[in-house]
Each structure stands twice: as structure tokens, then as C-alpha cells.
């Protein structure tokens, strides 16, 4: 079932800056759908239109069948939002922040209390529930944001750069929570990221977005396969030419021979590799070396845009840190 | 089916949202002891400096003027032992002089001491200042993303605006109460028409002023991404607004052109209403006019302010 549908969704800022340029896509129930793109690609702008914070300049979008412009309030009730920035009130405690969110959704307070405790346990902040947020680290803040975004038991959760600025361990922890939500609660998750690895590990489907346009959309494995598949490199003992033997195997697309080493382009390398070994053995040759290389999203991106994806975008992390310094001083 | 259960559970109501957001605002400053000290210190300093330094009734006090212990005037007296002279006792003369002083004070300021007059003026001034400055907090809410979070929930947009207005108003009322209590301890002379009920009237007047002013100010601040903008606006209009009112001096002694300005300045009506309810004898007709004017002011500005903020929040 389609839970999010966007058609020619467009946002133009100040009548000239096209931040999101006629994009169309659908998100299906229960999947993790990722928007992958570099800084400034239009990811946040897209999310903001879907969560009703921004009105599209053109096109339309619906969430669970509710139009994001005409039925904005219905949309707001069924979604959870974890924004790119930390939005919790620093002067309040973690518990007070969650309860505030609950009140904004009008959740009856007895239900809200139970749920707040449950969520604080889920994100492992229960021991810090009465501490003011200003004392929290980045990872704790992100987890609190996640808890706040879940208070209304949303059917769709929107995560904007959920691991931006976090260290590797905290990032892995956040990934675990996201997977848990999908598996345990069958929640649909729409997330954005500019980390290739994150998109690859977490997302069922990815849309690669650049300059406000969707360049490619599909399962991470499909996107990578579209490059022409995996590369299996095989070395055998002896000098006989076995190119034809390998070519006969199903899913093999291309074989190149260099001395006794063969570079084989295949689909589904991990399934084909054993078949190749078996075929070679049957001819009584011995495989001495074998390696399997999978194409990465980086190569997909390279192919789509003609430039390499700068993973772990430094300038964005820097901007993020500066924002926090500014916040620390601004008070 | 499960979806339906969830939908029923989410009943965003104006009241719930309003109370939660207002509670958040109150908590923010009540949690902060330094803030509370500042809220009390600020009026105290103003009152101490202005109320006591501008010692107008001191001008008419015999203590500050050297009066000889005896004044001998030529004249014909029929009472012995003096022949052809009247001898006036100096202390008696001082009393006459101070009596005249009080009469002048009374006729100009409506009360016998300037401190009382001034302290009430300070209440108006603090109400205006606090109302304006607390409107700035919405710029922070916006910059820190809190406002975005709130508007991504189904909470009523009106609850967001009203909670900000309530915050400004409550702060203003709190500070006004502090000044009134401090002024009383420092020698404010309360008139004989003062009753405890008058305090409700004072709060109502402050509420009207604060609600109107903060609505318009919030509508302005909500559009600014930088705190500097509303700050500049405050700097631009605050002093002229305060000096073109009856906070420091009664209207009657001002030049005509200034009187015209003072008489449209809502601060004048606020100050007058509070003075009547505390230190002066109540003139029912004048008091009614004060409240009508303040109500009109509050209604117009609140409506404009809310419409503008609403437009911004739902655009
Ligand atoms: N409120 C705004 N006003 C003007 N331009 C904006 C605004 N928000 C974003 N933009 C611009 O739109 C483009 C896309 O931004 P954004 O959606 O935040 O990118 P991403 O989240 O992918 O990093 C950027 O060029 C950015 O400068
Ligand atoms: Mg972004």
C-alpha cells in the first residue's frame, strides 16, 4: 500500500531558488525509504513539505491519503517528526519535553505518562529523565528527539539526517532503533541522509537526489546492480583458457582474461561465485584465488552525476558544530 | 482498526496545547532563580533611582529651605507686649509653607508625595518593557527549531500565539505586583478609596495593555530570524512611548501639542487607571474612560497581532 505519494512536488524559494524540482515518488507501507543526497540537495525542503511545514510551490503530495496542504492537520496527527536540528527545550527535562509533545498532540495524560516512560526506556534515557536537556550530549539529544517523535505512535516517521554529527557508536545505536521500529512496530520510515553507508545499511529503497531532482530510485542492491553487477576475480592453476567455461554459467555477463586471472562481471556475485568454482572443478582445474567486489553506492552516484559523493560531508559537520557553539553562547 | 484507535486517542485541543505551552514558558523562568532575582531587582532599581532621586516634594519641604526662627513684620498689633510689630514663629511658618507645598503637589500630581506618583508610573513602565522584551523569546523558539517542532504537531496555531501572550502578561503582572509591594514598603501612600478588590482592577488594566502590546510585538518578532530586529524596534519606540505619557509628570502641565500625543498614548490610560485604583481617590467617570480606552486598544492590537501571526504560522 502506498502511504506517501508525491507528484511533481516543487519548492521555489524567493521566486528564484529551485530547492526541489518536480519530484515524484511513492513510499510503501512498512518500508524504510531514504533520500540520499549531498548538502543542499533539497532533502530537508522535501521533508518539510511532506510534514506540512512548507507549502509546495507546485505539485502535490499526500500522506496516508491526506493532502499535505488541504488536510495538513490530519497529516500532522498520524506522522512523527525527528527534525535535523535539536528542537527540545533546553531548560526543561527530558521527561518534561516528552510530556509537552504529548500535550501538543492532545494525548490524555494518563496514557502519555505511561508512554513517555516506555519511550524513555526504549531510547535508554530513563536514568536521565529528570535532567535538563542542556546537560545532554548530541547522541542523547537525538535519542530524545526520537522519543518525542514517537509519542503519538505515528504510522509514518520522518527522520531528517538522524545521525548528523554523531560519533560512530552513537550512529550505530540510532540505526538499531530505526531497525527496531520497522521490525517491531511495522512503522514506515522516511529518512534523509548524506551518508552513503547509512542509506545502504538501513534503507529498503533509496532515491538519490541532487540539485532538487531525483536522479535514481530503487533498492540499494538494484541501484548497484544497474551498474552491471559484481566483479568476481578468479585465479586458477595452469595456463589453459577457460573463458568459455565461465561464460556458460547463468548470470555471467562478461569475462576478461589476464594470464591465469579472470575478471568476471556477474549479477548476484555471491550466488554465482560457487557455481563458477564448481564448473571449474568439474574440468579439473584448481581455483587458487577468488575475490568478490560489490559496486558501492558511491559508484552509482558517480555514474549518475559524474562526480564522486563526498561521504561524511565535512562542511556540513562543521556547520553543525558551529550552530551548537553559537547556541551555547547565545543563551 | 488499530489506526482508528490511534486516531481517537489524538485529540489536540486548544486548551490542552495552550496550557502546556504556557506552563513551559512559566517553567522556563520560574526554574531560573537568576531570572527571578532580575525580575525583582529591575523594578527595585528603577524605583529607587527615579522614584527617590527625583524628589519633587522636597522642593516644598521646609527642611530644605532656611527659615529664620522669628520673622518680624511691621504692622499694628493690638495684643501686648509687642507694639507696632507682628512676630511670626518660624516653626509655624514652616508648617504654612509645607501646607502650601502639599496643596501644590496635590493639585499638580493628585497626591501629596512624588514617590507615590512615580512608583505607579514605574509599574506602567515595567509593564511596557517586560511585555516587549518577553515577545523576543519567540525569535529564539524559531531559531532553535522549537517553533518548527510545535507547528509540525496538530496543536492549534492559536494556542501557540496565546501562550506567548499569556507569558508576557503573566510576567508583567508579576513584576507589577512586586513593584506595588516594594513601593508600599518604601512609603507609598495609599488613598482611602483603596480596597483589595482594586488589585483585580489593576491586573485587568495591565492585562489589557500587555495583551495588546505583546500581540503586535509577537507578530513582528515571529517574522524575524534575528533577535536584533525586535531589539532595534524596542530601542526605537520604548523611550518615546514612555516619555510621551503621564508616567513622570502629569499631562496638564505639558505643552498642548505634547498633551495631544500623551492623550492618545495608551500608557497614559494604564497609568491613570492604576493611580486611581491605588494612590488617588477614584473618579468613577475617569476610571471608566481609562478602561474603555484600554479595552479598545487591546482589542484592536490583539486582533491585528493574532491575524498577522496566524498568517505567518499557517503560510
Ligand atoms: N527557507 C529557505 N529560504 C531560502 N532558501 C532555502 C530555504 N531553505 C532551504 N533553502 C535552500 O534550498 C536548497 C535546499 O536546501 P535543503 O533542503 O535544506 O537541503 P538539504 O537538506 O538537502 O541539505 C539550499 O540551496 C538552501 O540554501
Ligand atoms: Mg537538510
Q: List the single range of A249-253, B104-108, B267-271 with lowest mean pLDDT.
A: B104-108
Q: Is A215 helix (H, G, I), strand (E, B) or coil?
A: strand
Q: Which ligand is nearest to the CA of A13?
A: 1
Q: Ligand 2 centre from A62 Cα, in Å? A: 21
Confidence class for position B228, pLDDT limits 50, 70, 90: confident
Identify from A103, A153, A188 which residue to disrupt to test chain B contact, counting B C-beta atoms within 10 A and taking the largest count: A103
Distance A40 CA to ligand 1 centre (A): 6
pLDDT digits (tens, 9 = 90+) for A79-132: 999 998 889 999 999 999 999 999 999 999 999 999 999 999 999 999 999 999
pLDDT at B1: 38
Kindly tell me the sign of the dihedral angle through the C-alpha atoms of A245, A251, A256, A262. Answer: negative
User: Which of A9, A10, A38, A44 is the pocket-test mutation for ligand 1 (most atoms within 8 Å of CB)?
Assistant: A44
Percent of chain A exceeding pLDDT 70 equals 92
Give CA angle at A310 (A213, A175), nearest 5°.
85
Q: What is the tens place of the pLDDT at every residue in B32-61?
A: 888 788 877 877 787 777 766 776 766 766
Taking a C-beta distance cutoff of 8 angstroms, is the pair B28, B163 a contact?
no
Shortest alpha-carbon distance between residue B237 and chain A (Å): 25
Whether ligand 1 lies within 6 angstroms of the CB of A19 is answered as yes
**pLDDT confidence of residue B285:** 94
Tell which residue, A128, A138, A193, A190, has the closest CA to residue A169.
A138
**Cα diameter, chain B:** 114
For B180-199, the three-class secondary structure string (H helix, E strand, C coil) is HHHHHHCCCCCCCCCCHHHH
- Mean pLDDT over B152-158 rounds to 92
A41 lines ligand 1 (CB under 6 A): yes
Q: Give the distance from CA A263 to its chain's centroid.
A: 32
Cis peptide before B203 (omega within 30 of 0): no
A252 touches A266 (CB < 8 A): yes
| Predicted TM-score (pTM) of this structure | 0.80
Specify the higher pLDDT residue, A313 or A197. A197
Confidence of residue A309 (pLDDT cuts 50, 70, 90): low
Strand partners, A66: A63
- Closest chain A residue by Cα to residue B28: A91
pLDDT digits (tens, 9 = 90+) for A278-301: 888 888 888 889 888 877 777 777
- Checking if the pLDDT of B71 tops 90, the result is no
Describe the crossing of helices B33-46 and B114-135 by its angle, rounded to 10 degrees.
Answer: 140
Q: What pLDDT score was predicted for residue A231?
A: 81
Report the pLDDT value the prediction gives residue A129, as an integer from 0 to 100: 94
Note the pLDDT of residue B83: 59
Which ligand 1 atom is the nearest neighbour of the CA of A41?
22
Summarize pLDDT for B267-296 with one digit per residue, the tens: 999 999 999 999 988 899 999 999 999 999
- The answer to whether the CB of A106 falls within 8 A of the CB of B156 is no
DSSP state of A89: -
CA-nearest residue of chain A to B21? A100
Chain B: which residues have CB within 8 Å of chain A? 3, 6-7, 9-13, 16-17, 19-21, 24, 27-28, 31-32, 140, 143-146, 148-155, 315
Least confident of A199-203, A288-292, A304-308, B222-226: A304-308
Which is nearest to B179 in space by CA: B278, B288, B62, B294? B278
Residue A159 is given by DSSP the state E
Quote the pLDDT of residue A296: 78
Confidence band (pLDDT; 50, 70, 90) for B262? very high
**Arithmetic mean of pLDDT over chain A:** 87
Q: What is the mean pLDDT of residues B172-200?
A: 89
A163 CB near ligand 1 (under 6 Å)? no
Contact check, Cβ <8 Å, A103/B19: yes
Mean pLDDT over B133-151 rounds to 89
Q: Average of pLDDT values for B69-89?
A: 62
**Residues near ion ligand 2 (Cβ under 5 Å):** A 43-44, 84
> In the structure, what pLDDT confidence band is assigned to residue B5 with cuts at 50, 70 and 90?
very low
Q: What is the 3-state secondary structure (H, E, C) of B103-150?
A: HHHHHHHCCCCHHHHHHHHHHHHHHHHHHHHHHCHHHHHHHCCHHHHH
Residue A67 has pLDDT above 80, yes or no: yes
Structural domains present in chain A = 2-224 (3.40.50.300), 228-294 (3.30.70.100)
Q: Is A38 in the pocket of ligand 1 (CB under 6 A)?
A: no
Check if the beta carbon of residue B156 is closer than 8 Å to that of residue B243.
Answer: no
Whether pLDDT at A197 is above 80: yes
Q: Three-state secondary structure along chain B?
A: CHHHHHHHHCCCCHHHHHHHHHHHHHHHHHCCHHHHHHHHHHHHHHHHHHHHHCCHHHHCCHHHCCCCCEEEEECCCCCCCCCCEEEEEHHHHHHHHHHHHHHHHHHHHCCCCHHHHHHHHHHHHHHHHHHHHHHCHHHHHHHCCHHHHHHCCCCCHHHHHHHHHHHHHHHHHHHHHHHHHHHHHCCCCCCCCCCHHHHHHHHHHHHHHHHHHHHHHHHHHCCCCCCHHHHHHHHHHHHHHHHCCCCCCCHHHCCHHHHHHHHHCHHHHHHHHHHHHHCCCCCHHHHHHHHHHHHHHHHHHHHHHHHHHHHHHHC
Kindly indicate the confidence band of residue A328, based on its pLDDT and cuts at 50, 70 and 90.
Answer: very low
What is the rounded CA–CA span in Å between residue A195 and residue A167? 13
Mean pLDDT of chain B: 84
Cα–Cα dist B136/B225, whole Å: 11
CA of A193 to the centre of ligand 1 (A): 15
Higher per-residue pLDDT: B105 or B299: B299
Burial readout A102-117 (b: 16 or more C-beta within 10 A, e: otherwise): bbbbbbeeeebeebbe
Q: Residues B232-253: pLDDT tens digits?
A: 888 898 889 998 999 888 888 8
Residue A308 is predicted with a pLDDT of 66
Chain A neighbors of B150, CB-CB under 8 A: 104
Confidence of residue B154 (pLDDT cuts 50, 70, 90): very high
Residues of B in Cβ contact (< 8 Å) with A92? 24, 27-28
Q: Which residues pair with A307 in a beta bridge?
A: none
Residue A90 CA to residue A70 CA, distance in Å, equals 33
Cβ of A315 less than 6 Å from ligand 1: no
Amino acid at each position: 500500500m502506498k502511504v506517501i505519494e508525491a507528484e511533481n512536488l516543487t519548492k521555489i524559494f524567493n521566486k528564484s531558488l529551485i530547492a526541489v524540482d518536480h519530484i515524484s515518488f511513492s513510499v510503501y507501507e512498512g518500508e524504510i525509504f531514504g533520500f540520499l543526497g549531498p548538502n543542499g540537495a533539497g532533502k530537508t525542503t522535501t521533508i518539510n513539505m511532506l510534514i506540512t511545514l512548507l507549502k509546495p510551490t507546485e505539485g502535490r503530495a499526500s500522506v496516508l491519503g491526506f493532502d499535505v496542504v488541504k488536510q495538513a492537520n490530519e497529516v500532522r496527527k498520524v506522522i512523527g517528526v525527528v527534525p535535523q536540528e535539536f528542537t527540545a527545550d533546553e531548560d526543561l527535562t527530558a521527561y518534561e519535553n516528552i510530556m509537552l509533545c504529548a500535550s501538543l498532540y492532545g494525548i490524555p495524560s494518563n496514557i502519555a505518562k505511561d508512554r513517555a516512560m516506555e519511550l524513555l526506556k526504549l531510547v535508554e534515557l530513563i536514568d536521565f529523565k529528570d535532567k535538563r536537556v542542556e546537560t545532554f550530549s548530541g547522541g542523547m539529544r537525538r535519542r530524545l528527539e526520537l522519543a518525542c517523535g514517537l509519542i503519538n505512535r505515528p504510522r509514518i516517521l520522518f527522520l531528517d539526517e538522524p545521525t548528523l554529527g554523531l560519533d560512530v557508536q552513537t550512529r550505530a545505536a540510532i540505526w538499531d532503533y530505526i531497525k527496531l521500529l520497522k521490525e517491531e512496530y511495522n512503522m514506515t520510515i522516511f529518512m534523509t541522509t548524506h551518508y552513503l553507508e547509512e542509506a545502504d545499511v538501513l534503507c529498503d529503497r533509496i532515491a538519490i537526489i541532487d540539485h532538487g531532482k531525483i536522479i535514481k530510485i530503487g533498492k540499494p542492491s538494484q541501484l548497484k546492480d544497474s551498474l552491471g553487477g559484481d566483479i568476481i576475480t578468479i585465479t586458477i592453476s595452469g595456463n589453459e583458457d577457460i573463458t568459455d567455461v565461465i561464460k556458460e554459467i547463468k548470470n555471467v555477463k562478461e569475462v576478461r582474461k589476464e594470464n591465469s586471472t579472470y575478471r568476471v562481471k556477474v549479477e548476484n556475485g555471491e550466488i554465482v561465485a560457487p557455481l563458477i568454482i564448481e564448473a571449474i572443478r568439474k574440468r579439473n582445474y584448481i581455483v587458487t584465488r577468488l575475490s568478490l567486489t560489490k559496486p558501492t553506492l558511491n559508484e552509482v552516484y558517480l555514474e549518475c552525476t559524474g562526480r564522486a559523493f563526498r561521504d561524511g560531508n565535512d562542511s556540513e559537520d562543521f556547520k553543525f558544530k558551529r550552530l551548537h557553539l553559537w547556541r551555547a553562547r547565545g543563551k | 482498526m488499530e489506526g482508528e484507535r490511534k486516531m481517537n486517542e489524538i485529540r489536540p485541543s486548544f486548551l490542552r496545547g495552550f496550557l502546556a505551552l504556557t506552563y513551559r514558558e512559566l517553567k522556563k523562568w520560574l526554574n531560573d532563580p537568576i531570572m527571578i532575582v532580575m525580575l525583582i531587582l529591575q523594578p527595585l532599581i528603577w524605583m529607587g533611582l527615579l522614584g527617590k532621586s527625583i524628589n519633587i516634594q522636597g522642593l516644598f519641604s521646609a527642611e530644605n529651605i532656611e527659615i529664620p526662627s522669628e520673622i518680624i513684620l511691621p504692622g499694628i498689633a493690638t495684643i501686648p507686649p509687642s507694639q507696632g510689630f507682628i512676630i511670626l514663629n518660624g516653626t509655624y511658618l514652616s508648617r504654612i509653607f509645607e501646607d502650601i507645598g502639599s496643596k501644590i503637589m496635590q493639585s499638580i500630581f493628585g497626591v501629596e508625595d512624588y514617590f507615590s506618583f512615580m512608583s505607579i508610573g514605574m509599574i506602567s513602565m515595567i509593564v511596557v518593557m517586560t511585555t516587549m522584551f518577553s515577545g523576543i523569546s519567540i525569535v529564539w523558539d524559531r531559531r532553535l527549531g522549537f517553533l518548527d517542532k510545535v507547528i509540525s504537531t496538530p496543536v492549534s496555531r492559536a494556542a501557540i500565539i496565546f501562550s506567548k501572550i499569556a507569558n508576557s502578561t503573566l510576567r508583567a503582572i508579576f513584576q507589577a505586583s512586586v513593584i506595588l509591594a516594594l513601593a508600599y514598603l518604601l512609603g507609598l501612600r495609599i488613598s482611602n478609596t483603596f480596597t483589595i478588590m482594586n488589585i483585580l482592577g489593576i491586573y485587568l488594566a495591565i492585562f489589557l495593555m500587555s495583551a495588546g502590546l505583546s500581540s503586535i510585538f509577537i507578530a513582528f518578532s515571529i517574522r524575524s530570524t534575528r533577535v536584533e530586529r525586535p531589539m532595534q524596534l524596542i530601542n526605537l519606540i520604548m523611550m518615546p512611548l514612555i516619555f510621551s505619557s503621564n508616567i513622570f509628570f502629569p499631562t496638564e502641565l505639558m505643552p498642548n501639542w505634547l498633551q495631544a500625543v500623551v492623550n492618545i498614548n495608551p500608557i497614559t490610560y494604564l497609568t491613570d487607571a492604576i493611580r486611581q485604583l491605588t494612590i488617588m481617590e477614584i473618579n468613577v467617570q475617569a476610571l471608566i474612560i481609562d478602561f474603555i480606552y484600554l479595552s479598545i486598544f487591546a482589542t484592536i492590537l490583539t486582533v491585528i497581532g493574532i491575524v498577522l501571526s496566524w498568517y505567518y504560522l499557517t503560510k
